Structure 1
């Protein structure tokens, strides 16, 4: 069984461990650790919100920080570097960068579920320089080159 270890930081006296909302959820919910009061995130602004935990993840994995779909759709709350990455050797406070891409200020309160974390495997391939790449039907077409409709 894979184990992810969370260390409660001194400012976090009451938040539950990150957890999965349903048995089939891919991401565990991360909560805002704001014991000194709410953060109001104005439209177009970014805030770095602490979770109150440090983490130790298994070797060969990363913890991806992703937006919560309901917050993104209803309020425009995004992760600007989505997905954010917590590396396996990082042991500091886990924080979530949040961007308000909506039209109204958004209030983040202590204990609010603000993001989700997914533990994912990492491949570390051998890096080589070559003179050519194999040919494909698509080739170098990108940024919409396959169209929108079939």
Structure 2
């Protein structure tokens, strides 16, 4: 079932051989981002990796750079600041801060390898209003780990 027409997002190739973000399958939320040059991540190393692309998002939208689940599962490579945020007004190169979490194995990438996913979402601007007290909620003050989730708590 189609929700409506695709949102047009202008992109610019900053390097001639760079491919635009592409959805691997119909219905995918994230479009694959590729690296523009070959590199190797040593165990525990992080690196800011260029995609060779710049985009122009419409006002009211942002793009979020997420790790690729297969890359994380196979090689332990993730996005350090996941998700990275690309604001509507940013026109520079989309770069991805990758981290090799494997303690022993380096991971090699060739130019054009898929390194992350780009998810574009509509976002709201808000006006923060100071208050002496906040209204009650079901969750209340429960924070990190307050709902359990492991056999230990």
TM (norm. structure 2) is 0.90
5+ residue gaps, structure 2 = none
How many residues align? The count is: 145
Q: Which residue of 2 aligns with 1:100?
A: 100
**Cα distance in 2 between the residues matched to 1:59 and 1:139:** 34
Which consecutive segments of 4 or more residues in structure 1 shift more than 2 A?
none
**Cα distance in 2 between the residues matched to 1:14 and 1:7:** 12
**Cα distance in 1 between the residues matched to 2:56 and 2:27:** 23
Task: Find the residue that maps to 1:73 and give its secondary structure.
Answer: helix
Task: Find the residue that maps to 1:70 and give its secondary structure.
Answer: helix
> How big is the shift at 1:141?
1.3
> How big is the shift at 1:16?
2.1
Q: How does 1:93-132 map onto structure 2 within 5 Å?
A: 93-103=93-103, 104-132=105-133
**Cα distance in 2 between the residues matched to 1:121 and 1:102:** 34
Is structure 2 residue 39 aligned with structure 1 residue 39?
A: yes
Q: Which residue of 2 aligns with 1:28?
A: 31
How far does the alpha carbon of each residue in 1:68-117 deviate from its partner, in whole angstroms, 9 at most, with x for none?
Answer: 00001111111111000011001111111101112311112100000000
Task: Find the residue that maps to 1:93 and give its secondary structure.
Answer: coil
> How big is the shift at 1:137?
3.1
**Cα distance in 2 between the residues matched to 1:59 and 1:137:** 34
